[in-house]
Structure 1
Amino acid sequence: MPPTPAVPSLPCLLPLPCTGSADTGFTVSVASEGLLPFAVARSYWIYDTPSQVQRGHHAHHTLQQLLIAVSGRLDITLETPAGEQQHFVLDRPDLGLYLPGLYWRTVRFQAQSVLLCLVSEPYSEASYIRNYAAFRALAATGQSTGVPI
């Protein structure tokens, strides 16, 4: 029996299972079991975002996500709870970026990009931290209250 893959606890790029060929096309399938450290409770996608528009500007208390550029290119900047910057590029539909809670993010879209988000919780405004100063304060304590900010 193959070893169980380690589940991530920090942001990281995850290769996604892909089948097919250049002759027939490719299929990517994502199942929570074995790949993600969360069950997918919701999915949504963002498209027709004008080129170079930057979105995000928030963090989540506990919500986890897998971000996938199903088309185009996304430049993602994260700020860790320790205040460090991390940069990721998503430009392949067979690669996802895992994000745990309490990471501030910004996403810059290139033309014709489509961002698919698989998330661990149903939508709730209370899951968001939209105020940067409040994010830094929560990150400094290492705790998240789950209270909308």
Structure 2
Amino acid sequence: MKETSVFDCSLIELDKHHHEKGNISIVENGIEIPFNIKRVYYLYDIPGGEDRGAHAHKELRQLIIAASGSFDIVLDDGKVKRTVTLNRPYIGLLVVPGIWRELVNFSSGAICMVLASEKYDENDYLRSYEEFINIKA
């Protein structure tokens, strides 16, 4: 796993094209984001008080977007924690490999859309915080 810190994760502002009938933002492989998208998924209908995430990836990169509503992402590199609030559908958070992430404080009706650099691979996940800390040490 690459040596990364929470400061390697960055906000990316997507182009927002305004039209009187509504706005549109576009994400294309390798243009707006620094990877090719191999998987898209989204979280929705999250009950009040519930958290998601609580894992890290060894190789996967993600762009996380609040497609609707808002939520916080707590980033942790084993030494430093950083909280980022997402609440605009044209702003995404690029999360690099080797970062523990927890998604918290979902607003009612929030939709979290994730664009991932790889297809699902259970072997890429670190689901134990203790294992994560041991690898980062």
TM-score higher than 0.5 = yes
Task: Name 1:15's counterpart in structure 2.
Answer: 13
CA distance in 1, matches of 2:37, 2:57: 16
Unaligned runs of 5+ residues in structure 2 are: 1-6
The structure having more radius of gyration, on CA atoms, is 1
Q: Which amino acid aligns with 1:14?
A: I
CA distance in 2, matches of 1:34, 1:28: 13
Does the residue aligned with 2:37 lie in a helix, a strand or coil?
Answer: coil
Q: TM-score w.r.t. structure 2 length?
A: 0.90
Once superposed, which parts of structure 1, at least 4 consecutive aligned residues long, lie more than 6 Å away? none
Task: Name 1:88's counterpart in structure 2.
Answer: 84
CA distance in 2, matches of 1:13, 1:51: 26
Higher relative contact order (CA 8 A, sep 6+): 2
Does the residue aligned with 1:34 lie in a helix, a strand or coil?
Answer: coil
Within 5 Å, give how 1:1-149 maps onto structure 2.
10-21=8-19, 23-81=20-78, 83-108=79-104, 109-140=106-137
Q: Which amino acid aligns with 1:71?
A: S
CA distance in 1, matches of 2:28, 2:133: 33
Q: Which amino acid aligns with 1:27?
A: I
Q: TM-score w.r.t. structure 1 length?
A: 0.83
Does the residue aligned with 1:77 lie in a helix, a strand or coil?
Answer: strand
| Root mean square deviation of aligned Cα | 1.2
Unaligned runs of 5+ residues in structure 1 are: 1-8, 141-149
Does the residue aligned with 1:111 lie in a helix, a strand or coil?
Answer: coil
Q: Deviations over 1:21-53 (max 9, x none)?
A: 3x3210011012232221101000010001231
Please tell me whether the aligned partners of residues 50 and 110 of structure 1 are also in contact (alpha carbons under 8 angstroms).
no
Q: Which amino acid aligns with 1:137?
A: N
Q: Which amino acid aligns with 1:122?
A: K
